């Protein structure tokens, strides 16, 4: 989840419209969603489902103890992604000893609120347990470890998770393979193996590759395009490509987003925007919030423009629990709801994009 780096110009007319929205409309409280069905506005997920998409939000386990936050999550969205509870350090803290408590808690919450679950993530260079990173493994040993981990985790959640980020952040910015533990020991074939093992463990789950800084056409997204094309030609089960979409106002909008989504769709895979947030240098002001709203609307519109863009997930929906301030000091205000769970202009821009489509 590193900082994206992109450049483009914001359309002045859209920016002006969003500024007018910010200055001219009252902020709608989150509590509005609690009104009787015949009086309440459609949720973001309900609007998205009219177009055959979903609209979701990630959640981490501690956030479920925030009753107001958890309640709004369960009412506004159609899917959720565990922020950390299904990563390797959480699910296999000791070799061969599995702990599904964190992931199970989120799955139980999701079922109680009629949300579907995206699994995140089976294979990543980060947040690995110490026993794995400190070991010295032969290729045969590491392949057996990886196969067992993927098999056990996917089987445990079979029928409970509709899609998996199987391999996460496996490319460098220049389009070369990331020199992670698995690549160094097993070579690039570990990616196809991981996808095959996941398919064997749950034939119905959609299997994704997922990364950041791939929203625009460039070296990194080109590398994924080439990889997915080759995997498909080899009969490897890859069903989707996840564009994280951690955007930042200071780096510019990915101007060829819709074009990039379309070219992956043309390979015969689904595309999902899996970790959307749009941060800014603090403090936030009317102009920055209007620009952010414009971007949220444009991202939503880009997904709606491509039939195989199946859904959007924001990486947490409120600034109250955002990962941004602790990771990027001096930045934040990245999400469509503020710290008090009130709508920001970004929320209205998403609604407008979903309604206009």
Active site residues: 169, 275
What is the SS3 assignment for 27? coil
Give the helix/strand (H/E) hosting 355: helix 345-356
The DSSP H or E segment spanning 325 is helix 324-327
Terminal C-alpha separation, the chain: 30
70: burial class by Cβ within 10 Å (0-12, 13-18, 19+)?
middle
Tokens read off for 242:
């996840």
Q: Which residues of 314-337 are buried (b: 16+ CB within 10 A; e: fewer)?
A: bbbbbbbbbbbeeebeebbbbbbb
Contacts of 55 (CB under 8 A, 6+ apart): 43, 44, 45, 47, 48, 77, 78, 79, 311, 312, 313, 350, 354
Distance of CA 286 to the CA centre of its chain: 27
Q: What CA–CA distance (Å, rounded) separates 261 from 247?
A: 16
DSSP bridge partners of 337: 318, 343
| Three-state secondary structure of 140-154 | HHHHHHHHHHHHHHH
Question: Which is nearest to 230 in space by CA: 199, 188, 171?
Answer: 188
d(C-alpha 127, C-alpha 139), whole Å = 21
CB-CB contact of 289 with 344 (8 Å): yes
The kind and range of the H/E element at 311 are strand 309-314
């Amino acid at each position: 989840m590193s900082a994206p780096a992109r450049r483009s110009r914001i359309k002045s007319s859209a920016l002006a419209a969003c500024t007018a929205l910010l200055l001219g409309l009252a902020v709608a409280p989150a509590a509005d969603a609690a009104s009787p069905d015949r009086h309440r506005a459609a949720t973001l997920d309900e609007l998205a489902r009219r177009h055959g998409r979903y609209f979701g939000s990630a959640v981490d386990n501690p956030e479920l103890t925030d009753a107001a936050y958890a309640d709004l999550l369960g009412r506004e969205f159609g899917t959720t992604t565990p922020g950390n509870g299904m990563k390797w350090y959480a699910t296999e803290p000791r070799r061969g000893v599995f702990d599904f408590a964190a992931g199970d808690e989120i799955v139980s919450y999701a079922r109680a609120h009629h949300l579907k679950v995206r699994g995140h993530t089976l294979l990543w260079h980060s947040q690995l347990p110490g026993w794995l990173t400190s070991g010295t493994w032969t290729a045969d040993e590491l392949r057996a470890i990886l196969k067992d981990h993927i098999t056990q985790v996917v089987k445990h959640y079979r029928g409970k998770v509709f899609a998996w980020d199987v391999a996460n952040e496996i490319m460098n910015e220049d389009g070369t393979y990331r020199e992670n533990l698995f690549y160094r020991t097993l070579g690039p074939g570990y990616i196809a193996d991981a996808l095959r093992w996941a398919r064997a463990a749950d034939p119905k789950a959609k299997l994704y590759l997922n990364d950041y800084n791939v929203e625009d056409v460039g070296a990194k997204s080109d590398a994924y395009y080439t990889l997915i094309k080759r995997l498909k030609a080899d009969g490897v089960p890859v069903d989707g490509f996840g564009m994280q979409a951690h955007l930042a106002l200071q780096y510019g909008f990915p101007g060829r987003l819709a074009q990039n989504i379309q070219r992956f769709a043309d390979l015969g895979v689904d595309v999902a925007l899996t970790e959307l947030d749009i941060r800014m240098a603090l403090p936030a002001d009317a102009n920055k919030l209007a620009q952010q709203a414009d971007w949220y609307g444009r991202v939503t519109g880009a997904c709606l423009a491509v039939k195989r863009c199946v859904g959007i997930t924001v990486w947490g929906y409120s600034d109250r629990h955002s990962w941004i301030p602790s990771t990027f000091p001096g930045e934040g205000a990245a999400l469509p709801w503020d710290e008090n769970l009130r709508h920001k202009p970004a929320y209205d821009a998403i609604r407008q994009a979903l309604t206009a489509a």
